[in-house]
Amino acid sequence: MKTTVTEENGIVIVKLEGDIDLEHSVDVRNNLLDAAEQRKNMLVDLSAVSYIDSSGIANLVEALQKTREIGSKLGLVSISLQAMRVLQLARLDKVFTIYPDMAAAKAGS
Amino acid sequence: MSIEIADIPEPDLFGRPDHLAFLASLNQDFAASLDFDRTIEWALRGITEIMHAEAGALFLLEDNGRDLVCKACVGPVDVRGVKIRMGEGVVGRSVQNNRVEVVNNAYENPNFHRDIDLESGFSTRMILCAPMKVGDRMIGAIEVLNKRDGSQNFEAQDVHLISAMTSAAGLGIANARMAAALLEQERTRRELELAAEIQRNLLPKPQKAPFPVRGINKPMRKVSGDFFDFMAIDERFVAFALGDVSGKGMDAALMMAKTASLFRCLGKSITDPGHLLTLINREVCETTSHGKFVTMVAGIYDLTSGALRFANAGHEPPVLRDQDGAISDFPADAPPLGILPEQVFETLEISIAQGDFYVFSDGLTEHRDGAGGILEAEGVMRIIAQTERLPLDDRLPALFSLLDAMGHDARDDMTMLAVHGQIDAVQKKKRPLQSVSDPLNDMDFLAEIRVPAEANRLKIIRETTAHSARHCGFDEKETQDIILAVDEACQNIIRHAYRDVEQGEFILTIHQQSDGICFLLRDFGPLVDPSKIVPRDLDDVRPGGLGTHFINVIMESADFLPAPDGVGNLLRMVKKIGTRQ
């Protein structure tokens, strides 16, 4: 599990890699909330996420709530089929703004 | 010229029987007539006639105590609707000073307004105006204009005559008004009774066992600001609510009707009580007025598990009394409905499998006990304890009888609702059916892993699960689902079963079935109360509680079996091939 935070044209990009499960969700949570604290629009790149569970989904929901509170935007980018399935099972796929790839995300946000 | 009535000698009223007869009939006519306007006109016509005047007008004082409005007139000019301020003109002065005004040369009198004469062509020569009083209350005035018999002046006799007739007319008017007020009051009373009946019909029809909810409502006045409701959503769930609108009387009753209707309508489709209250609150906030608000508890009870989920909007804490008499209460941490439109209400989950859940309005807690003190929550709990052994149907009526017996009138609407946990009996029946003597029948053993209950072992579980699922013939999408469900089940053990234990472990056993896969997950933690494991409501976007939902959606079945030796928990999850939704 690896998290990389970069900034590009005023957008904070958080790239998550590996399995977001109970073992790692505390770190993921902290990283996402820290990134949200920068009070900029934020993209979470999920292209390299191999597995996500309910605790990982909870992290994303919390980050979304945080950005809403701040007044910035949060978008999810390049969601794997597995992650998309979990979002759909949780019926949260409509709650998030989801971009197919980074180019679309940067154009969109 | 103004004349004090006291200064004038008595007129010879009794010498003129027509006057006396007229006075006598005045009162009767007012009392008998339903048409107030025609009656005062008739009275004025009689007075004008007796006074031998060319014209007359009757003014009544408006409720504002300042304006006099002409309600009836006799003569060539219609002055009905003319408004005169208290103290202005001849009529206004007569009323303000409470004395008869006599003006025998109108155009020379500074108080006379010529406007009406100029407009109508009528020539006012002389005015006689008497104030109309009932007891100490001024209600208007009657004026007559111009004597017809050619005399140039209103005399002292005329002053006394008009005073007598005006006060008779005043009495008649007051009586007629009182009769009208009585009629109005009677109409209001009938309307109130109708409202009370409509309101009673808003309450749910009493249900018989095994329906688990009962309610009782006793309004302090005719209509109530309290309400309760319950309804079966399906064979498994029963929704209920109890609310209390601030204040009493008609306005509170109307708001009660609105809130109760919102609950009945939305409660059928929205099964998360917190979410339900959030929506009702938004609606109530949009239309509430005069600072009215509603405290309310809404809940949903699962008949199969004994799980009760509820939310509390600023209401008296509901009370759970378990079979041993132990009491827990659940104070609200959210404000009443109708105050903050953005408020989000949380859902609490408890198990009442072997207990009873009571919700009541503050009419109970504020009721006076035998010694005259306030009952408070403790007093209510004592009464609950006194009635708990009664059958559910008799319990709430008995409880209200005990309140009555304390000998004090209710100071507020009193409402109470009881949810009876009856899972004990149900489970005793169900358990033997569930017990599987040999859960391994019809199954090929695939793998067994025994791991410490630690998050960093989950990857091993996922890998093993993935290989097993593919081995059984599941495609990649189904395999991903199965991995998620098993992972979530193991997480539940790590997070909940061993929360208080340092070194727990669990065993995952995987079997292949002819058309699917079976997972047995065994832990050695404290017994899980299945009723406390409730999937979250998905309309509610908040972190947490998702895992159980995933398991229920993905797996064909997921149920707890009796654990061997009664130690720990045994969860069985079964998934069939080709059933992905």
Sign of CA dihedral B550, B305, B307, B276: positive
Return d(Cα B279, Cα B239) in angstroms, integer. Answer: 16
Nearest C-alpha neighbor of B484 from the set B574, B551, B553: B551
Distances (CA, A) of B385 to A6, B16, B18, B315: 63, 82, 79, 21
| Residue B521 Cα to chain centre, angstroms | 49
Q: What percent of chain B has pLDDT over 70?
A: 87
Inter-chain residue contact A95 with B547, CB threshold 8 Å? no
Check if the beta carbon of residue B300 is closer than 8 Å to that of residue B276. Answer: no
SS3 B469: helix
Return d(Cα B1, Cα B6) in angstroms, integer. Answer: 15
Instruction: Look up residue B493 and give its DSSP letter.
Output: I
Nearest C-alpha neighbor of B380 from the set B348, B418, B347, B332: B418
Per-residue confidence band for B534, with pLDDT thresholds at 50, 70 and 90: low
Average pLDDT value for residue range B468-481? 94
* Helix orientation angle between B476-492 and B546-554, rounded to the nearest 10 degrees: 140
Check if the beta carbon of residue B274 is closer than 8 Å to that of residue B346. Answer: yes
Inter-chain residue contact A21 with B455, CB threshold 8 Å? yes
Tokens found for residue B348: 């609490």
Average pLDDT value for residue range B451-463? 92
Average pLDDT value for residue range B437-448? 65
Neighbours of B166 (CB within 10 A): 24
Provide, as residue numbers in chain A, all residues whose Cβ is less than 8 Å from the Cβ of B484: 53, 82, 85-86, 89
φ/ψ of A17, rounded to 5, equals -135, 140
What is the CB-side half-sphere exposure of residue A99 using CA atoms within 13 A? Answer: 18
Per-residue confidence band for B426, with pLDDT thresholds at 50, 70 and 90: very low
pLDDT single digits (tens) B143-174: 999 998 777 789 888 999 899 889 888 888 88
Least confident of A7-21, B52-66, B231-245, B518-532: B518-532
Query: Which of the pair, B353 or B108, is modelled with greater confidence?
Result: B108
Please check whether residue A27 touches B, CB under 8 A.
no
Of A81, A82, A91, the CB nearest to B538: A91
Decide if pLDDT at B14 tops 60: no
Residues B419 and B439 in one domain: no
- H-type helices in B68-155, by residue range? 89-97, 115-120
> CA nearest A23 in B: which residue?
B455
Domain count, chain B: 3
Per-residue confidence band for B6, with pLDDT thresholds at 50, 70 and 90: very low
Residues B349 and B262 in one domain: yes
Residues B131 and B114 in one domain: yes
Chains A and B: how many Cβ contacts under 8 Å? Answer: 64
Q: Is B331 exposed, middle or buried (0-12, 13-18, 19+ CB in 10 A)?
A: exposed
> CA nearest A83 in B: which residue?
B480
Least confident of B56-65, B172-181, B388-397: B172-181
Inter-chain residue contact A21 with B541, CB threshold 8 Å? no
Tokens found for residue B433: 């059916």
* B188 is a domain residue: no
Chain B residues with a Cβ under 8 Å from any Cβ in chain A: 455-456, 458-459, 462, 477, 480-481, 483-484, 487-488, 491, 494-495, 538, 541-544, 546-547, 549-550, 553-554
Return d(Cα B90, Cα B392) in angstroms, integer. Answer: 76
Average pLDDT value for residue range B55-65? 93
Average pLDDT value for residue range B396-413? 84
Give exposure, B31-61, as e/b (b: 16+ Cβ within 10 Å).
eebeeeeebbbbbbebbbebbebbbbbbbbb
Range of the domain at B40: 2-180
Rg over alpha carbons for chain B, rounded to the nearest Å, is: 41
Of A22, A82, A91, the CB nearest to B455: A22
Decide if pLDDT at B231 tops 90: yes
Provide, as residue numbers in chain A, all residues whose Cβ is less than 8 Å from the Cβ of B546: 54, 57-58, 90
Decide if pLDDT at B197 tops 90: no
In sequence order, which residues have a C-beta less than 8 Å from that of residue B435 and are 6 or more positions away? B561, B562
Whichever domain contains B32, its CATH number is 3.30.450.40
Average pLDDT value for residue range B458-468? 95
How far is B492 from chain A, CA to nearest CA, in Å?
Answer: 10
- H-type helices in B150-233, by residue range? 156-202
Provide, as residue numbers in chain A, all residues whose Cβ is less than 8 Å from the Cβ of B488: 53-54
Of A19, A22, A61, the CB nearest to B542: A61
Per-residue confidence band for B121, with pLDDT thresholds at 50, 70 and 90: confident
Top-confidence range, A33-37, B17-21, B233-237, B381-385 = A33-37
Average pLDDT value for residue range A64-71? 89
Decide if pLDDT at B104 tops 80: yes
Q: Which of B410, B427, B444 is the last residue of a domain?
A: B427
SS3 B381: helix
Top-confidence range, B206-210, B378-382, B435-439 = B378-382
Please check whether residue A81 touches B, CB under 8 A.
yes
Check if the beta carbon of residue B5 is closer than 8 Å to that of residue B163. Answer: yes
Please check whether residue A54 touches B, CB under 8 A.
yes
* Mutation to test the A interface, candidates B479, B539, B550, most A Cβ within 10 Å: B550
Check if the beta carbon of residue B546 is closer than 8 Å to that of residue A57. Answer: yes
SS3 B103: strand
Tokens found for residue B256: 């009660």
Q: What percent of chain A has pLDDT over 70?
A: 99
Nearest C-alpha neighbor of B254 from the set B277, B230, B227: B227
Instruction: Look up residue B28 and give its DSSP letter.
Output: H
End-to-end CA distance of chain A: 26
> CA nearest A85 in B: which residue?
B481
Return d(Cα B365, Cα B315) in angstroms, integer. Answer: 12
Which residue type is seen at B527?
L
Inter-chain residue contact B455 with A95, CB threshold 8 Å? no
Inter-chain residue contact A53 with B553, CB threshold 8 Å? no
Top-confidence range, B47-61, B323-337, B499-513, B543-557 = B47-61
Least confident of B270-274, B357-361, B367-371: B367-371
Average pLDDT value for residue range B92-112? 90
Tokens found for residue B34: 């339903």
Q: Where are the beta strands (DSSP E) in B425-466?
A: 444-452
Check if the beta carbon of residue B448 is closer than 8 Å to that of residue B434. Answer: no
Inter-chain residue contact A59 with B543, CB threshold 8 Å? yes
Inter-chain residue contact B458 with A89, CB threshold 8 Å? no
Q: Which of B427, B449, B471 is the last residue of a domain?
A: B427
Least confident of A19-28, A64-73, B149-158, B418-427: B418-427
Residues B60 and B152 in one domain: yes
Of B495, B542, B553, the CB nearest to A89: B553
> CA nearest A61 in B: which residue?
B543
- Per-residue model confidence (pLDDT) at position B9: 44
Per-residue confidence band for B219, with pLDDT thresholds at 50, 70 and 90: confident
Inter-chain residue contact B550 with A81, CB threshold 8 Å? no
Least confident of B128-142, B365-379, B413-427: B413-427
Q: Considering the domain A2-102 in this protein, what is its CATH number? A: 3.30.750.24
- Per-residue model confidence (pLDDT) at position B500: 63
| Residue A100 Cα to chain centre, angstroms | 13
Inter-chain residue contact B455 with A54, CB threshold 8 Å? no
- Per-residue model confidence (pLDDT) at position B433: 31
Decide if pLDDT at B538 tops 60: no
Of B541, B542, B547, the CB nearest to A54: B547
Inter-chain residue contact B483 with A51, CB threshold 8 Å? yes
Provide, as residue numbers in chain A, all residues whose Cβ is less than 8 Å from the Cβ of B544: 58
Please check whether residue A41 touches B, CB under 8 A.
no
| Residue B389 Cα to chain centre, angstroms | 31
Average pLDDT value for residue range B94-112? 90
Of B488, B538, B543, the CB nearest to A53: B488
| Residue B161 Cα to chain centre, angstroms | 58
> CA nearest B552 in A: which residue?
A89
- Per-residue model confidence (pLDDT) at position B434: 32
- Per-residue model confidence (pLDDT) at position A32: 95
Neighbours of B193 (CB within 10 A): 12
Per-residue confidence band for A90, with pLDDT thresholds at 50, 70 and 90: confident
Return d(Cα A35, Cα A14) in angstroms, integer. Answer: 7
Per-residue confidence band for B432, with pLDDT thresholds at 50, 70 and 90: very low
Check if the beta carbon of residue B111 is closer than 8 Å to that of residue B93. Answer: yes
- Per-residue model confidence (pLDDT) at position B502: 64
Inter-chain residue contact A22 with B541, CB threshold 8 Å? no
Of A21, A57, A91, the CB nearest to B487: A21
Nearest C-alpha neighbor of B127 from the set B106, B142, B111: B106
Return d(Cα B54, Cα B60) in angstroms, integer. Answer: 21
Residues B547 and B442 in one domain: yes
Return d(Cα B386, Cα B325) in angstroms, integer. Answer: 11
Which residue type is seen at B276?
L
ipTM above 0.90, yes or no: no
Mean pLDDT of chain B: 83
Average pLDDT value for residue range A50-55? 91
φ/ψ of B279, rounded to 5, equals -70, -45
Nearest C-alpha neighbor of B248 from the set B240, B238, B259, B256: B256
* SS3 letters across A8-62: ECCEEEEEEEEEECCCCHHHHHHHHHHHHHCCCCEEEEEEEEEEECHHHHHHHHH
Check if the beta carbon of residue B100 is closer than 8 Å to that of residue B141. Answer: no
- Per-residue model confidence (pLDDT) at position B438: 43
In sequence order, which residues have a C-beta less than 8 Å from that of residue B542 and are 6 or more positions away? A61, B536
Inter-chain residue contact A61 with B477, CB threshold 8 Å? no
Q: What percent of chain B has pLDDT over 90?
A: 36
Provide, as residue numbers in chain B, all residues whose Cβ is less than 8 Å from the Cβ of A57: 543, 546
Return d(Cα B471, Cα B516) in angstroms, integer. Answer: 10
Average pLDDT value for residue range A47-60? 90
> CA nearest B551 in A: which residue?
A89
Whichever domain contains B442, its CATH number is 3.30.565.10
